[in-house]
Amino acid sequence: MATKQLLIVGAGPYGLATAAYARHLGIDFVILGHPMEFWRDRMPKGMLLRSGTTWHLDALGIHTLKGYLESRGIDPVRVIPIPINLFVDYADWFVESAGIKAVPSYVRQLDYRDGHFEAFIENGDLLTAKCVVTAPGLGYFPHLPADLTAKLPKGRYTHTSATVNFEPLAGRRCLIIGGRQSAFEWTALMAEAGVAQLHVSYRHETPQFAPSDWDWVDPLMDKTLVVRGWFRQLPKAEREGIERHFWEEGRLKLEPWLAPRISKENVKLAH
């Protein structure tokens, strides 16, 4: 295969969005991965998204989530919060509409030599590219703190990304360690799946059950497109202020639709 201008590693939302924009710009690229695989296989049925219908994959603003809903005759107001299966359906529609053809394989080794990248992929092929964008997603980076796992019996604990089928847990007692959105959403889904008792343990105050406001992020993203490196050039206090704002919206709030779903006698919160 001839050397590509761009290799995109990963076919989740970020990889697909990058591929669509590269295609629009006429960049000769190849994208590796199984489109939306993590979302299909490593997220539980019934999961709801924190993002709204204004969040989408198309940098051009054409093949948007709202556009998909309109094409299907779906009222955007009636799908808030957004079910995960709806977003995956939208992504499939986006891939087809944008004309993206992913190579369904994984990179096993990536090297840089003689001014280009060499990607050895699992099907035995070697791909070469001048530039690489990596968007492998979170699936390869689960964090299980060693100080906790050392206290737990082997084979009796797992990470949320590896636990998406709750049927085997019906009738059991479970401990969830962590107090952010995924911990509380897994709590709700597990309670609804018939888990007998759920104990949620975390080291901080319980976040607010309040809607997150992300509208302030759009101007920052727009600026990123026209002013390269603007964030790094800000005074330290301003950078820390933006970082704190992200933290407050994403980490100190939980979606309000979770509150009634965990307000059950068999769910105990401890911090």
Q: pLDDT tens digits, residue range 14-31?
A: 999 999 999 999 999 999
| Strand 126-134, strand 173-177: pairing | unpaired
- Bridging pattern class, strands 116-121 and 107-113: antiparallel
Q: Which of 232, 211, 231 is nearest to 220 (CA)?
A: 231
What percent of the chain has a predicted confidence (pLDDT) above 70? Answer: 100
Q: How far apart are CA 232 and CA 239, in angstroms?
A: 8
Q: For 39-85, write each residue's pLDDT tens digit.
A: 999 999 999 998 889 889 999 999 999 999 999 999 999 999 999 99
Looking at residue 77, its pLDDT comes to 92
Over residues 117-134, the pLDDT tens digits come to 999 999 888 999 999 999
* Digit-coded pLDDT (tens) for 241-256: 999 999 888 888 999 9
- Decide: helix, strand or coil at residue 269: strand
May I ask the CATH class of domain 4-140?
alpha beta
Residues in the chain: 271
Amino acid at 162: A
- pLDDT tens sequence across 162-199: 899 999 999 999 999 999 999 999 999 999 999 999 99
User: Class of 146-210+255-270 per CATH?
Assistant: alpha beta
End-to-end CA distance of the chain: 56
- What residues pair up with 127 in beta bridges, in sequence order? 119
Domains 4-140 and 146-210+255-270 share a fold: yes
Q: What is the reported pTM? A: 0.89
Of the candidates 61, 18, 83, the one whose C-alpha atom is nearest the C-alpha of residue 218 is 61
Cβ-contact 103, 30 below 8 angstroms: yes
Instruction: Write down the domain spans for the chain.
Output: 4-140, 146-210+255-270, 217-251
